[in-house]
Amino acid sequence: MKKLLLIQSTPYDSCRIPIKKKKLYFVGLGIPLLAALTPRDWDVEIILETIEDIPFDTDAELIAIGSMGHAIIRSIDIATEFRKRGKTVILGGYMASLMAEEATQYCDSVVIGDAENVWEKVLRDYEAGDLKAVYREELEVLTTPMPRFDLILDKNIGDFLPVQAGRGCPNSCSFCSVYCLYKNKYLKREIAEVVRDIEQVKRLGFKKFLLLDDNIIADRGYLIKLCQEIMRLNMQWASQCSIKIGEDKELLQLVAESGCITLSFGLESISAESLKEMDKAWADPTKYAELIKSIQEAGIDVSTEMVVGADGDTIQSIKDTATFIRENKVVVPRFYILTPIPGTKYYDILKSQNRIYKEDIYSYNGSEAVHVPKNMSPEELTQAYWELYTEVFSLRSIVKRTIIRSDFFKKMDRYLFYFLINLYYRYQIKQKITPNII
Ligand code: B12
Ligand code: SF4
């Protein structure tokens, strides 16, 4: 039987050593889905490099590697090693899609964007000895088979499995890879199909799932119907969406009742000027505190993603971000340096202004300034970023955000869990690892 090895690569750390973990708390869906899209006359093996070693002496003839962000460098190195051993290598996933032309130099074929309409053709072309350098087949309708979780269940993964209802986002933030790939397209799956996948997660013995959508409230009516279905399954879930959900008390209540325990919000910045620069002026930072409160009052824990280094940011505004996070009792805050990912609108703008400071994609890890900010030097930005992380994950801030809360005794288990996550992040930050590859 022909054999395919599917790899999700892990990024390198600052010493160019692949980042390894004992456990992968959040697994992606791309690779298990690709396995499900593979015709059954292929034998498939999955390797999640963050928790497993790559079997370079594999008997698989075809190697397909997925890459997120700066992990593309690792994917390229893996591809090079396999090609030396005579294997055929295909790259895909977000980062290979955004820099497909460059990626083709290091592999036999690149799949840009969604694989659903094209993966079987790729494999058949390979079998016929007619593999093309690039494949791209945009989706008009999103329908996916049941992901092959059977291939990852024996691995050391967390207690959430991934499910996806939709892809893309109607917004157009300048720095965003999702916008770059989907423009304003927002594709949703039939609710029955999503429920089918959640039911599979439940059948496999998992009580929690991660709804991987980038903005789950992009279609309010759809989310309402989905929550009504999820509710009867008696599961817990987490997802991410626009903070504007805080304005919609009725929706918040339904989302919470359906089992949503945590929502993550790309707040990006507390500076209105910075948000404008990111084409995210629709978000109003003066309302953030009030919206966060209303989400917390609905019983949903608030996690945030923010970036520093936009033109509205100063050293002082970056320091003030730590106070914002502490005062609003954000349980899991994450930060990145605003990074002009090649392929995005933001990259083109900075390039035209001659403000790209480092071209080496290896530095595009979100924790090192690669552009020249307006109000500080790149080095000052990198330093301010790590100081922000250090302050936010000081014991004082961690305790204030996770323990000293009026509802602590109501949800003690959950807050103690967040407390431990925060301690783990604190440990990672001390090693200068951006706490994301969890
Ligand atoms: C879950 C997730 C994670 C998880 C799990 C990652 C893992 N190891 O599997 C965690 C939290 C650990 C994580 C970490 C990181 N992530 Co992440 N992650 C996601 C998220 C939310 C969902 C991914 C997913 O499963 N999507 C659903 C599947 C079905 O879609 P898909 O992955 O795009 O796959 C489809 C196609 O792309 C294609 N495809 C995917 N892989 C492959 C491979 C081959 C060979 C082929 C042919 C096709 C193919 O087929 C699939 C079906 O159509 C996405 C956002 C998003 N919208 O996708 C960000 C996202 C992919 N992550 C991103 C980044 C930057 C990272 C980090 C680098 C962050 C950091 N600075 O540390 C790390 C890198 C980790 C790593 N191992 O490489 C960016 C990537 C941007 C870019 N330009 O590449 C995204 C898009 C978030 C964003 N909005 O910017 N991530
Ligand atoms: S709202 Fe989020 S997913 Fe949508 S374009 Fe902006 S950053 Fe990207």
Structure confidence at residue 276 (pLDDT): 95
CB-ligand 2 contact for 171 (6 Å cutoff): yes
In angstroms, the CA 324 to CA 267 distance is 11
Q: How many CA atoms lie within 13 A of 230 on its CB side?
A: 30
- Whole-number Å distance, alpha carbon 68 to ligand 1 midpoint, is 5
Contacts of 35 (CB under 8 A, 6+ apart): 6, 44, 46, 147, 148, 151
CA nearest ligand 1 atom 74, residue: 68
In angstroms, the CA 323 to CA 336 distance is 17
Ligand nearest to the CA of 170: 2
Structure confidence at residue 13 (pLDDT): 84
Q: Place 343 in a pLDDT band, splitting at 50, 70 and 90.
A: confident
pLDDT digit string (tens) for 179-221? 999 998 999 999 999 999 999 999 999 999 999 999 999 999 9
SS (H, E, C) 135-201: EECCCCCCCCCCCCHHHCCCCCECCEEEECCEEECCCCCCCCHHHHHHCCCEEECCHHHHHHHHHHH
pLDDT reading at 308 higher than 60: yes
pTM surpassing 0.75? yes
Atom of ligand 2 nearest to the CA of 266: 2
pLDDT reading at 433 higher than 90: no
